[in-house]
Structure 1
């Protein structure tokens, strides 16, 4: 037997799961998973075959798509994407999302309004976690106007918010008031609300074209070439402030002035997602005069002649190309796909910079071969065998590098094959202590690091 309460409006998925866990006498989410599988008649199914999302949706008596749209932050986190943008949020045509990212938190920590929690106890008999309080950058309650309280560990969602009153931290009230009065941040939050209500994401190709047109009309730097115009990233910092940005995009908060940050400035020209959806949302908040205009622009047709303009080859600045080379593990094909230019163009530019093509497949690694030869002193044959490549392939890579000093290779040792990791947003108290990047020497400030 399983007790099945109905979730409240705006109740967060993991908070609802925590309530179901407590109501049924379970001591952990693992125990709840086992109970739900027994109840659903699939005790032996793996979590990939039957995900927690699918089970908790069934407990709530909702189709998965409806549960995702009403109770998860996925519609916001996936609001602008280059991956399967034609699929509605929670679609069963991609069940991988069900078990991988659908119930992931949108930001670090667990946030709640103490006034809401007390009112919930009086009205409902229990307090619950609100999805709207978990949006990155939200510091105060829209209903009561007071600063939010928060717990540092997301395990807090397993208990009711009222359980943590007096045993949590609170956002600085003066800072929350200051943020609430910021017009750009207000537009950002309103755009987030609008995107949370969308059934389907917007494709990066479409959003990029819309932003490209708007950025061009404002005279901003809209390509990866040498910087000759104001940067979008600098505008975002100026209008939102570094401390608040540390809650949303910490890499942007740490960026030096007049230094391009691909994760933000790349929204104008990157073929695949330059960063998380929040980079695009911040761009919209800065570029458009109102949230309504921004949302209408995203939902509307492409600007006139934008398709033709976007097909033109973009001449990428060497510094931007270097950043992508490192970020993509030195693989020419991945860099070309990331920047939306031809493989031949990337190969010509990178090889002329002394950067070889790093092939990383099962049993074959150009990087391992080069490191064995150059760092460990192995013979050419030993190095080729170490990397699973032929001696001629290794020689080709060495010839490319011969004209340049080897500056990039050490940075690739810890790069993941699928790209560089994203920094986690900071907690409010951490953001209040955020450093100012311009206080550091320029040589220690790197794009995206």
Structure 2
């Protein structure tokens, strides 16, 4: 089925209460399959197949065509949520699909991402059903009901990131259809007896923090951009002596507990020091290849000191598709550019059209400065310093000289200038003149423009 057909079906869904007249709703950080399990309890469904049939009857009137709508989208509408919001904050698509190829950059929960929603939308990131007894006690105290949370189903996180206690596994036949407090009551025990504090090392704590941030991303990143970020960061770490490892997998192996990594990361037991390990080293070796979410989380945990540094790097990569050197070095600046348009214009001229230099002058992030400048029609003019002849030829053309003669005078390729002219606006023309010749030369050039135009007309 095409994405357009899926879009028609999804837009036709209407949120409704259950057959019992009860509103399903959704709890904070609740796992999508946990929402589905509560619906199964409310409707007293005998099986998942029976439940799926009832969901379609309650939500749509499209007959057999509705079978192509992913379960994740049906559960979202049943819970009264926007599908995009539900996919971002209640599924684990952010862990399953950290990076994808350029042709698959669709927001989680969108009609174009229906195939990935069918495959991973209702799946936890780790096998099994887990809960934290401390979280359940707080849920019962504050809400009067308990649910299963996404942060308890991350591969490699066997403990609750909030309370630092070991997670308890629900071993029921259909565990997500059984609330945590009901399962505890059947075991003839109490939540207090299930509390088991654990000591978490620094690497694993940072791993959990970074992975939880990946979970709330609205869409995957492009593999080429993320892999370049990782490659540049690893190259910078080697160049500055932060690490002596020549392989990215050796760096990961040296920083994490090998027994923990072997338990939670497929084939990690095959890794040998000094030998390439494809699931990790391919990220640097092949920029277009994307690996599992667990592999990306291990790599990011090894390269960055905390979640905020990862956020800053992701922000730049997402907005511009390029990795700024300041992010690679770990420099921290203000996230927002508070300067006025006039201040940005003066900084832009003073910096020679260099966006990174503008951000340093304005003391803001490169992403923020680039966003403001591009909106004003001011692209990066870093090439002025490297190839001034090209821009001098453009200036000749802008003051009235024929393009071919301008290119001949400055010995530049005419086709290159034509490509620049297609994307330049009048503000770029003025900026180039100011950068190359200054204000006096610009006024002189304006006078020359009238003289040259008259000469052209007299011909």
TM-score by length of 1: 0.60
Question: 1:81-103 CA deviation, whole Å, 9 max, x = no partner?
Answer: 22645311111123222322211
Asked if the contact 2:60/2:66 (under 8 Å) is kept, the reply is no
Q: Does 1:293 align with 2:309?
A: yes
Q: How many residues were matched structurally?
A: 295
The residue aligned with 2:292 is 276
Q: Does 1:189 align with 2:208?
A: yes
In structure 2, C-alpha distance between the alignment counterparts of 1:238 and 1:255, rounded to whole Å: 12
The residue aligned with 1:219 is 238
Q: CA deviation at 1:27?
A: 2.4
The RMSD of aligned alpha carbons is 3.0
Poorly superposed stretches of 4+, deviation over 4 Å: 170-174
Alignment of 1:127-206 (within 5 A): 127-151=146-170, 155-165=174-184, 167=187, 176-177=198-199, 180=200, 182-206=201-225
Other structure's SS at 1:250 match: coil
Choose which of 231, 248, 267 in structure 2 pairs with 1:232: 248
Q: CA deviation at 1:240?
A: 1.5
In structure 1, C-alpha distance between the alignment counterparts of 2:125 and 2:308, rounded to whole Å: 23
Q: Does 1:109 align with 2:128?
A: yes
Other structure's SS at 1:216 match: helix
The 3 A distance-change label for structure 1 pair 152 and 215 is farther
* Structure (1 or 2) with the greater helix fraction: 2
Q: Does 1:71 align with 2:90?
A: yes
Q: CA deviation at 1:120?
A: 2.5
Q: CA deviation at 1:18?
A: 0.4
In structure 2, C-alpha distance between the alignment counterparts of 1:122 and 1:291, rounded to whole Å: 31
Other structure's SS at 2:112 match: coil
Query: Which region of structure 1 is more displaced relative to structure 2, 41-50 or 4-13?
Result: 41-50
Question: 1:342-381 CA deviation, whole Å, 9 max, x = no partner?
Answer: xxxxxxxxxxxxxxxxxxxxxxxxxxxxxxxxxxxxxxxx
Other structure's SS at 1:219 match: helix
The residue aligned with 1:241 is 257
The 3 A distance-change label for structure 1 pair 122 and 219 is closer
Q: CA deviation at 1:270?
A: 2.0
Alignment of 1:25-40 (within 5 A): 25-40=44-59
Question: 1:31-60 CA deviation, whole Å, 9 max, x = no partner?
Answer: 111111111244742675222222111111
In structure 2, C-alpha distance between the alignment counterparts of 1:154 and 1:214, rounded to whole Å: 45
The residue aligned with 1:250 is 266
The residue aligned with 2:108 is 89
Q: Does 1:267 align with 2:286?
A: no
The 3 A distance-change label for structure 1 pair 253 and 153 is farther
The 3 A distance-change label for structure 1 pair 44 and 303 is closer
Q: CA deviation at 1:275?
A: 2.0
The residue aligned with 2:366 is none
In structure 2, C-alpha distance between the alignment counterparts of 1:231 and 1:214, rounded to whole Å: 13
Q: Which of the pair has the greater relative contact order for Cα pairs under 8 Å at 6+ separation? A: 1
Q: Does 1:17 align with 2:17?
A: no
Asked if the contact 1:149/1:171 (under 8 Å) is kept, the reply is yes
Question: 1:104-163 CA deviation, whole Å, 9 max, x = no partner?
Answer: 221111111112223323432321101111111222223332111113678311211223
In structure 2, C-alpha distance between the alignment counterparts of 1:153 and 1:259, rounded to whole Å: 43
The structure with the largest alpha-carbon Rg is: 2
For structure 2, the residue ranges without an aligned partner over 5 or more in a row are: 1-18, 326-459
Choose which of 79, 82, 103 in structure 2 pairs with 1:60: 79
In structure 1, C-alpha distance between the alignment counterparts of 2:218 and 2:60, rounded to whole Å: 30
In structure 2, C-alpha distance between the alignment counterparts of 1:94 and 1:110, rounded to whole Å: 26
The 3 A distance-change label for structure 1 pair 269 and 100 is same
Asked if the contact 1:117/1:128 (under 8 Å) is kept, the reply is yes
The 3 A distance-change label for structure 1 pair 115 and 172 is closer
TM-score by length of 2: 0.58
